[in-house]
Amino acid sequence: MDLRRSRLVGKAAKVDSLTDFVLLAWDTFGAREFPFDTARLLALAVGGLDIDAIERAKILSKTAGKVRLLEPKERLRRGADSDLPGVTPEAISFDYMIDAVDTALYIAEVDGQQAAKRFLDLHGYTSKGGFISTLQGLVNAIPRTKVKGTWVVPEAGLLDTLCTLYFDDIALPEAVEMAAVVAPNENALFELE
């Protein structure tokens, strides 16, 4: 796991177990949704994590036989839940780096990049090694694919803009433009000429 994380981040870096899980899940599966059993094995390998604990941290949701990584806006915590892991714009500090990154991405999406920059400055993240390493890992792990100019994974676009504006040292892989797949007309068998 250390070697894989080092490859994503570009150097030897240690991050917390929840952040590690997210980085390695994106890198391993390249998709938001993947099999529950494989997620469970990855969680155990990353740091003896339990899928239920990862779900309580609002990293993923479980369905029959599958798990789904949540988008930053789906990880939002408010009020009494604001001391739990997740996206918390009003937090003073974060126990998990993925929460800090997802909070910055949430703020960028909802309030704009300048508001995200104020958040980054307030917490000193523009110069924090763990935050920058997590950003680098995520831009390398999350698929950077577009269809008709729109990011397939919204976080990839938010990360791209955030890093371009405020993190010159982050190396951004090229984005891949995919052709839109047009579904065949289901009613074609019944159309009359």
For 27-80, write each residue's pLDDT tens digit. Answer: 999 999 999 999 999 999 888 899 999 999 999 999 989 999 999 999 999 877
Amino acid 186: pLDDT: 46
Amino acid 2: pLDDT: 55
Q: Say if residues 136 and 12 touch (Cβ distance below 8 Å).
A: no
40 by Cβ neighbours in 10 Å (0-12 / 13-18 / 19+) ranks as middle
Of 150, 15, 155, the closest CA to residue 95 belongs to 15
> What's the pLDDT band for 184 if we cut at 50, 70, 90?
low
Q: Where are the domains of the chain?
A: 2-174
For 71-116, write each residue's pLDDT tens digit. Answer: 999 999 987 777 889 999 999 999 999 999 999 999 999 999 999 9
CA dihedral in degrees (108, 109, 112, 118; nearest 10)?
-20
Rg (C-alpha) for the chain, rounded Å, is 18
For 122-139, write each residue's pLDDT tens digit. Answer: 999 999 988 999 999 999
